[in-house]
Structure 1
Amino acid sequence: MIPYSRQVIEEDDIAAVEAVLRSDWITQGPAIARFEAAVTEYCGAQYGCAVNSATAGLHLACLAMGLQRGMRLWTSPITFVASANCARYCGASVDFVDIDPRTYCMSIESLTEKLADAEARGRLPDIIVAVDFAGQPCRWDRLAQLKARYGFGLIHDAAHSFGAEYHGKRVGSLGVADCTVFSFHPVKILTTGEGGMVVTDDPSLHEAVSMLRSHGITREPAAMERQDEGAWYYEQQALGYNYRMTDFSAALGASQLAKVDRFIAHRRKMAARYDVLLDGMEVERPWQSPDGVSSFHLYPILLKDSETRHHVFDHLRSVGIHVQVHYIPVHLQPDFMRSGFKRGDFPLAEAYYERTLSIPLHAALTDAEQDQVVEELKRALDEAG
């Protein structure tokens, strides 16, 4: 089988995890702090807080930024459901902004129009979660302008874009969002198994995320509300969660991080090779903005119509090529439609969904496998007419 994406685990990764498993610490030990420091150095942020998933990171970011019942969060409908669910975990409401038909990220034009309308109605969002899609960054210069104009909190959902760049700066150090959330799921750029990280330049935000990831508990004497009673003493100062990363996951992440530039370079090489191999075929290749450099988490193509997509999907799966669709628009999920969203609310996102197909792209994909993908894709398109 050729998967659409997969982890690359090498002997040094196994050795790093084994070393932790043979040590005195396997849960909350020194490997976590080392991994946090390595990630923040790599992406250029001041602080990093490792968590057990990007979903946890998004939830904690919302909590740390004060999101609560009666408040509003906006995000893109073309994303994984976690980008919206993080608001609902806090009791806040969710709305969406349609996508840019070229980048598939949130449309700045649609966002600008929607913000102006919301201001007139007194219903501005409290937080916007801007999602870098498939590894390609959003238009962060324009988001900075809108944030300054309207004053909303801004979370950078960089689950797809670790190692990507925008205007020459690496994601995590763009200086626009209040915080950036990475994913280290096995299909992402690097992996810790399950895992994620919240990076920020705001010390108070980092402190809040760090405490909330561990039950809202602090052991820091300077932060105690009552007199320290001894070395055993701790205080729960807020309702937090067990969102902690393990030490062996962090060890795997640190080992992966040492190779991440190689992983990304290979993804970019294979994406460029797809661009050549697919030239002249009846598919729309992913457009890349000159403002940024993608880390190519995905290589999504657009086919002629939904019927063609269905045929191509079935054919490729039948010959062992595990293509995927990213994503079903979040507002069309039954759980969201029950709250009032309906088909037609975000037409560009819906039109994209009808035609999109993610073909295999990962750091271990070979030329021969890629040639097979393209050959079978061509065969499926010919059959579909």
Structure 2
Amino acid sequence: MTDETPLEQDPLSTYDDAESPTEPVEPDEHRPARPPGPGLPESVLWAGSIVVLQILIAIPLMIAMAVQAGGDWMDVNAPLDEMGPNGRMLMFGLPTLLAFVLLAVPVMWRLGRNPVATLNLSLPNATQLAIVVSTVLPLSLIADGLYWAANEQWEALVEQMPLFEVLDGASVMETLDSQVKGASVLVLLLFIAVVPAVGEELVFRGLIGRGLVSRWGVVMGVLLTSVMFAVVHMYPPHVAAIFPVGMVIHLVYLATRSFWMPVLFHFLNNASAVLVLSSGAPLESDPQPLLVAGAVVYVLIAMWLLWRYRTQYRAEDGETFSPPYMTVAEPVTESGYRRSIPQSVPVAAIFGLLFVAQVVLATMDVMAAVGG
């Protein structure tokens, strides 16, 4: 049995690992509830398994392409060229898709007896939704700024130490720009936005983040999870850019207690890159420092407000469900705790309008880049 904690599934009883979950044990005030896993070593293995599975799946695909190229390993690009943009996107995206499909069952098993309640598939309210979606584009500005700065330093380092050039092959930006430009928007959205949004959120925020936050606390748990999330993207400038994105996505999950919100955030973040790619505009641009600084302020204010309007679970007498560690999981219905989310029509309206304004301005910027 996994080390599932009773506080997430039944706050009125405790279980030992050797005992059946159908046989409640009298609460022991001297025995603290054990935080759920995974711990740090196991989390590293889960994160590493994503990379390992992708490599293992990619190897037979590369062999098949080499065979199709007449056994010439140096000319595997020839079959790719014949496939066209959609075929190339399928070949590049298939290892990631299959890796997450293979990981889905063990991840759900590791989440315990009730993985749906542990992930928490409840919906947010309009206030939370407006704040979250309006944060996506400002955060992408911050990520772009970090990517640009880190890429300059990385290129200088590679010039001094050519050995590191091997990591350039992990550049997602370069692959997208050179290999799959021209693929249909739906194919790009599937492999670049939908698959990573669901798969990576299930593994990192749903499983790894759950264990690390419960065992290391919110600050260290979010930091460690975000580091792992960034590192699996491998290309150093991309790692630097992804790190703050991972932190914000994790905070969104903790505040809303809805698995759909990090998935939506991740999807919108990646989908914006897909739309830029499909438009023909350059994926990489040098963001203006003042815009990046403004984006930082915006994201900080948005996260502060989101926490003020965070989801909690309360009993009829007003008591808040407060286990000894941070969790997004739903308490069982029999416990008497009900989902409670503050609502503010003005806040929802303001951030909704801000999101619309951001989309309009971003669209105008892309159109100007294409026209220029």
Q: Give the TM-score of the pair, scaled to structure 1.
A: 0.24
Pick the structure with more helix per residue.
Answer: 2
Q: Give the TM-score of the pair, scaled to structure 2.
A: 0.24
Q: Answer with 1 or 2: which has the greater Rg.
A: 2
